[in-house]
């Protein structure tokens, strides 16, 4: 009985000792891995380094592999360390061994594929990356790496199929995919759109913004048209698209975007929107409605229901001192036809206005980069309490697609103060050419 107990006790002690030894080896190897591959630098890591007699990450990773020679994690850490010191050959071997030990880990196949590619073994890389994709078909990174490899192997269609999958899994990759397609298809917007086949509204807008940044305004708006809804983040992107189209002087396309954002019907008719100042004006939002320059010193603008020439209110402009005379206070971009004669009319009322520079309405050719002046009204001064009409005719140039109607003061020196009040109402435009043809 006693002998039996002694044998059991010895066996149990041996088993415990073996277990403790294995656990200690495992713990030591893991800590060395963390020091080597993940930069662990605490007291425990320093103590383990001392025990293992290692001084640098590579030596630590090698020691960890020696301690646990059948552990995928230690080989993975060794691969990471070798990669960080640009020893790509040993990194590849380490990852290959890690894959042997843990063949169902997509990440190990992924890094093995990357390392094989780095060692100019494209076929081996292809095999590893395909395995990684098979193990994790919903993850973006394997698709991304496989797509890039296929692209470098000149398998363009397959490459973009994988790259699209990557972008679906991780939308932050979409700009990279667009950029690659743009280069591969040599800046052919139509081919890029056909290859990428964006599905979501966000993807359409990403492509639209890329196109407009690369001077492909028509292709950009074509992507915008394919959006199912202009809401949420799509709306912000649509506003960016609108701003860029206006900056590129693509007014007809910009109007299409603006009209859809505002749920307005598309029209080719030239008109002043809200010429009677009956609707609210959103400051700082570009488009085809009235634009008010914010924070102009000593000038305030408001709607005045007490004074109006038509409708229920007018725009009131109060001048209270020195301000930049030629800075536009109020503008609106109007779509027009080239080589066409137009008539612009505005009603104004002034009260106790005193300045060396009177307010005027100017019409600029918005399509012209030099923004040439097409016409200008007389100074907007009226008899007290009597609305006066100011009218001007102008003819657009051959390239004119839009004009800017602008309220500012006449040019004068600095300082150039102004005091008094001006009301504006009933701004309108009519096509004289069409009228004469009709007559």
Partner 1 sequence: MDMRKQKVLKVLTVILAFSFAQVYVQAGLLSPAPGAPLPQRVITARLITKNNQPITVNGNSLGTGGTILTGATIETPDQVSATIDLGPAGVVELQPNSKIQLDFDENGNVRVKVIQGCVVARKSTNALPGEMEIYTDKASQKTDKARTSLGFCITPTGDLGPLGSVATAGAAIPVGISGTKIALLAGGIGAGVASVFLLSRGTNPSP
Least Å distance, CB 55 to partner 1, is 18
Site for partner 1 in 392-421 (CB under 8 A): none
Least Å distance, CB 45 to partner 1, is 19
Considering only 93, 117, 203, 222, the residue that binds partner 1 (CB under 8 A) is: 117
Considering only 108, 151, 206, 405, the residue that binds partner 1 (CB under 8 A) is: 151
In three-state form (DSSP H/G/I as H, E/B as E, the rest C), the secondary structure along the chain is CHHHHHHHHHHHHHHHHHHHHHHHHHHHHHHHHHHHHHCCCCHHHHHHHHHHCCCCHHHHHHHHHHHCCCCHHHHHHHHHHHHHCCCHHHHHHHHHHHHHHCCCCHHHHHHHHHHHHHCCCHHHHHHHHHHHHHHCCCCHHHHHHHHHHHHHCCCHHHHHHHHHHHHHHCHHHHHHHHHHHHHHCCCCHHHHHHHHCCCCHHHHHHHHHHHHHCCCHHHHHHHHHCCCCCCCHHHHHHHHHHHHHHHCCCHHHHHHHHHHHCCCCCCCCCCCCCCCCCCCCCCCCCCCCCEECCCCCCEEEEEECCCCCCCCCEEEEEEEEECCCCCCCEEEEEECCCCCEEEEEEEEEEEEEEECCCEEEEEEECCCCCCCEEEECCCCCCCCCCCEEEEEEEECCCCCCEEEEEEEECCCCCCCEEEEEEEEEEEEEEEHHHHHHHC
Nearer to partner 1, 27 or 183 (CB): 183
Site for partner 1 in 154-213 (CB under 8 A): 154, 156, 172, 175-176, 179-180, 183-186, 188, 191, 194
Considering only 26, 118, 309, 351, the residue that binds partner 1 (CB under 8 A) is: 118
Nearer to partner 1, 180 or 244 (CB): 180
Window contacting partner 1 (CB under 8 A); options: 13-21, 151-159, 231-239, 418-426 = 151-159
Distance in angstroms (rounded) separating the CA atoms of residues 215 and 221: 12
31 binds partner 1 (CB under 8 A): no
Least Å distance, CB 167 to partner 1, is 12
Least Å distance, CB 48 to partner 1, is 22
Considering only 114, 301, 380, 422, the residue that binds partner 1 (CB under 8 A) is: 114
Least Å distance, CB 262 to partner 1, is 31
Nearer to partner 1, 82 or 403 (CB): 82
Least Å distance, CB 91 to partner 1, is 11
Least Å distance, CB 237 to partner 1, is 16
Least Å distance, CB 200 to partner 1, is 19
Site for partner 1 in 41-100 (CB under 8 A): 83-84
Q: How many residues bind partner 1 (CB under 8 A)?
A: 25
Site for partner 1 in 131-150 (CB under 8 A): 144-145, 148-149
**Residues forming the site for partner 1 (CB under 8 A):** 83-84, 114, 117-118, 144-145, 148-149, 151-152, 154, 156, 172, 175-176, 179-180, 183-186, 188, 191, 194
């Amino acid at each position: 009985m006693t002998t039996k107990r002694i044998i059991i006790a010895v066996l149990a002690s041996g088993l415990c000792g073996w277990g403790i030894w294995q656990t200690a080896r495992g713990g030591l190897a893991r800590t060395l891995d963390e020091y080597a591959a993940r930069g662990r630098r605490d007291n425990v890591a320093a103590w383990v380094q001392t025990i293992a007699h290692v001084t640098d990450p590579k030596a630590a990773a090698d020691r960890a592999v020696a301690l646990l020679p059948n552990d995928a994690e230690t080989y993975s850490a060794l691969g990471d360390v070798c990669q960080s010191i640009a020893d790509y050959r040993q990194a590849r071997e380490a990852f290959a061994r890690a894959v042997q030990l843990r063949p169902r880990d997509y990440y190990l196949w992924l890094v093995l594929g990357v390392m094989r590619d780095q060692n100019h073994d494209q076929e081996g890389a292809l095999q590893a990356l395909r395995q990684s994709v098979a193990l994790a078909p919903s993850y973006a990174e394997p698709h991304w790496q496989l797509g890039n490899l296929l692209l470098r192997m000149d398998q363009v269609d397959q490459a973009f199929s994988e790259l699209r999958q990557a972008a679906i899994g991780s939308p932050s990759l979409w700009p990279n995919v667009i950029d690659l397609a743009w280069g591969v298809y040599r800046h052919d917007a139509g081919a890029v759109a056909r290859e990428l086949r964006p599905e979501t509204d966000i993807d359409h807008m990403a492509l639209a913004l890329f196109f407009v940044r690369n001077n492909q305004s028509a292709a950009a708006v074509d992507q915008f048209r394919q959006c199912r809804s202009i809401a949420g983040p799509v709306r912000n992107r649509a506003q960016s698209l609108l701003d860029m189209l206006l900056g590129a002087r693509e007014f007809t396309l910009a109007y299409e975007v603006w009209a859809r954002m505002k749920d307005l019907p598309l029209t080719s008719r030239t008109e002043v929107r809200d010429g009677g100042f009956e609707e609210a004006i959103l400051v700082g939002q570009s488009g085809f409605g009235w634009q008010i320059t914010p924070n102009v010193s000593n000038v305030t603008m408001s709607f005045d229901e007490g004074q109006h020439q038509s409708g229920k209110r007018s725009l009131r402009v109060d001048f209270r001192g020195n301000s930049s005379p030629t800075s536009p206070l109020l503008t609106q971009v109007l779509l027009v036809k080239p080589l066409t004669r137009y008539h612009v009319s505005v009603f104004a009322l002034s009260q106790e206005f005193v300045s060396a520079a009177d307010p005027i309405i100017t019409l600029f050719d918005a399509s012209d980069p030099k923004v040439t002046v097409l016409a200008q009204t007389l100074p907007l001064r009226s008899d007290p309490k009597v609305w006066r009409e100011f009218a001007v005719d102008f003819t657009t140039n051959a390239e004119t697609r839009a004009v800017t109607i602008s309220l500012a003061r006449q040019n004068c020196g600095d300082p150039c103060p102004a005091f008094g009040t001006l009301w504006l109402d009933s701004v309108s435009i009519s096509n004289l050419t069409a009228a004469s043809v009709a007559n």
